[in-house]
A and B are shown apart, each in its own frame.
Chain A
Amino acid sequence: MSLTSLDATLWLAFVWLAIGGAGFLAPRNYFYIARVLFPLGALVGLLLAGVALDAVFHEPVSRVLPLGLPDLPFHARMDALSAFFLLLTGSVAAGISVFAGGYFRHGEQGTLPGLLCFYYHVFLASMALVLVADDAYFFMVAWESMALSSFFLVTTDHRHAEIRRAGYLYLLIAHVGAMAILMCFGALQGGTGSYQFDAMRAVQPGPVWGTVAFLLALFGFGAKAGLLPLHVWLPEAHPAAPSPVSALMSAVMLKTAVYGLLRVTFDLIGSPVWWWGVIALSIGLASALFGIVFAAVQTDMKRLLAYSSIENIGLIASGFGLTILFRGFSMGPLAALALTATLYHCINHAFFKSLLFLATGSVLHSTKERSLGKLGGLIHRMPWVAWLSLVGTLAIAGLPPLNGFVSEWLLLQAFLFTPGLPHAYLNMLVPVAAGLIALTAALSGYVMVKFYGVVFLGQPREAKLAEVQDAGLWKRAGLLWLAGGCVALGLFPLTVIGLIDEVTRPLTGFGIAGQSAASGWLYLVPISAERASYSPLLFLLVTSLLIAIAWLGVRLFYHGRMRRSAAWDCGFPYLDSRMQDTAQGFGQPVRQVFEQYFRVEQTVPSPFDPKPRYAETASDPLWHWLYLPFARGIMRATGLVTVLQRGRISVYLIYSFVTLLALLLFVR
């Protein structure tokens, strides 16, 4: 009896739970929790990634656990799709956990470190279990445990009302989403009454039930992923949570939603209809654009990253929609291309977003400041964090030769094939959608310059920033691991695609790595060499060579003389840090261009104001158009119902009387 990868995964998840439980042994001992348990958790993550890496290349294995409902015990299954996402989970979690070992050094206010350790590892374990669950019940249990544990993590510092509010909003939307997912499974069981995924795979749902299931899945998983219009929790919850948790949520938890979408659409439903793709694509594009435009006007660095997560999830959803489109028209290889781009972006986003969240965590930890308007110049005081987050910044902006570029490149390549769609309108409109992707990518560059420039460059905006310390060794190690991941994923796309191939082949019947491998190990060739190719390694090599030559050349032919002096600034002598652009100022052009999409509230001082103050908030219009009216509607409806209970006993007796009479007449 050999240990299968599935068993190993389940055991590792269990070890995570055990580590969480071990936190209760000495709940106040920071050293024990941060320096022993968290690194252990990281090790488990690493092992999990190893197991998953192996499992990607193997046949699916499944087993039944002696837990769960009497007639529906927990079924677990490991196939390439699960393994891929487990790989993502394990590898990212390893970095985040190492970082957390340094982050929770002083402990978060409001919650015991032991408790925090418990939530954290339960969160990790439940994410791993979501990925291997093979029946609706197990899936839902893991899914909701994930929501609950992350809710507690978000509300770690629950003494602030806005954090509590964020946690509430988060859990509420997660719960509503979970209900939709539950209904989706209900629609999928197709009257068999069996809630095992195997049974759902075997049943071919009719077009109506299939559509219902897909839309419910899109709603449910979209709520977790933060797709429009269910994104509102994301920019609230991410800033509220401690940074390693934001990182974990953004990097891994959002991906479990993507996993769920892929699982339901391509595995359980099995035969998607093309127009589902149009829906997913539209929502994805809307989310992407919305997310990045809002990211541009944020003044809180974690909110900014949260909106950027919405953008990235939007891109992933676009890729997903494109995959359905191709799949629906039986264009297998192109579906594989789009799916590869989607999955690639998933893992990329996991790495660079967690890197950046952890970087903000370091900054927050050192400066106690989250607002962009009070940071600046940290590259001098925190060089490690600054340089490592530069990698993340460049990656998330989709710049070569880092990883973000590869997946966006693949996605755009996939878009360029859409004129071949056998549908009159789609083949015209979808290629144009590529323009929106391009706009989003360019805007993300804008946002990232703002983020990096305001936080790390320029002069410190507050005096206290002069004393901040750089991140400690544990944090550096975590950041280094993730930054290394960004670089490696960017430089060796062929290896990654080889992995992803194992996933796309069962789901779409095709893979793109074979084609690529035929063109040599150096080049990424998704379809054919004439069509497009990209070699990040060569790219990096030549760029570095050119930099080296330029530098050496200058040194060789001229000199290296240098003199430090005050900044010139066009000769203006009274330069101070307040003259730099603020975060608001930097976002102003975007705000102006997209003005009608924001709800902007400005207070502009009069020209004669002795102490002029300028305030501006750009809030989410969807909140005002959708959520508030909905909540008001519910309250109004419930208000009507309360009329039923006014305290008079005669009236209550009338209710009983009338009910009795009505039923008696009914039974006649």
Chain B
Amino acid sequence: MGKQQITDPHHLLFEAPRVQSFITGSEAVAEAVKRANVDMAIAYPITPQSESMHLVGELFEQGYIRDFYRAENEFAVMAAIHGASLGGGRVFTATSGPGTLRAMEMFPVWAGARQPIVCAFMCRGVSLPPSIQPENIEMGMLLDTGMLMLHAEDGQDFHDMVLAGYAVAEQPEVHLPVGVFVDGFFATHTKDRILLPPADLKLPPYDPRTAPVPTFDMETPPMRITRDPLLNKSNFISGAANASWHQEVLAAAERSRRHLRTYLGGLLEVESPKAKTLIVASGTAVSQSREALRLLQAEGIDAGLIKIKSIRPFPEEELAEATDHADLIVVPEFNAGGWLGREVKAALDRNRRVVSGPRLFGGMSMPPGLIVETIKGAMATKNRSAGGA
């Protein structure tokens, strides 16, 4: 292990000179953890997350992180990470698909307990039938757990978002868990050109004393404290206290917007903003959409792209503004439920403009031509109905 110098997140993310490398998404996340000054990581084997957590294990061996072990199942991993975070450590873990669902009960707990945990989710199909292939239906199930949700397009995003995740999660007024989501295999196993900041830099250590809740170390007052107390007496006041706690968790997520703009450069990103036809996507569906834009441009069809980087908080206002002039909005996604389409529709007015599709799942790739077909099909339908009117 080389000696690392502490630098502020802004410098690490935006100013430090970057070196180009040709690595997989799994390697990219380990590179982020290497620079994140993580105290503790806990792992459990699950495809396609395993490679990255093997590499994180090696970081432990090399001394970049201070403790690491394999726990007995994902629920236990997430509970142990919860414990480590209560103890004041900066923690990292990762899971995937069925593992996410096995640990489901813990995610709202993290958020409610205001823990700045960063967890990578290498999305895959959930049973049944069993699948280890890419699909992001698990994100649709996590939308209301209270954690912040960032969706990486590729290995570069994955790397940067893990680092940005700590910077945002640990803001005293935010102090919430951040899930960094990436589509398994499409991003984790693809080798790509990735720009890395120097390995001799790292984030400043986490300071639990700035947390909005006390640390469990018997070094922090008050002495008499339980996390989190049973606010469940059967009376109006304890019901109201419980509800207010939830409001505070929602408020903390709202407060993260400002920091997400700083560290992600915005909750969404727009390409060809003036186009009347817009694709709205997140994750690797963005990559496929970029290719679709090329195909459309080659045919002289003017189309633009909105990449949603933050799913929670969701950029409702930015999205409404960016799409206000559009008359066709297409939302391609890698899951059967179409959760992003639903989010988009719920955020916009004039829903008839929105086509929720194409949707691919079960491990299927999304040919860019399919997005083009969807757009042309929707245009044809519109022209027909316009002609008929």
Do the two shown chains form a genuine complex with each other?
Answer: no
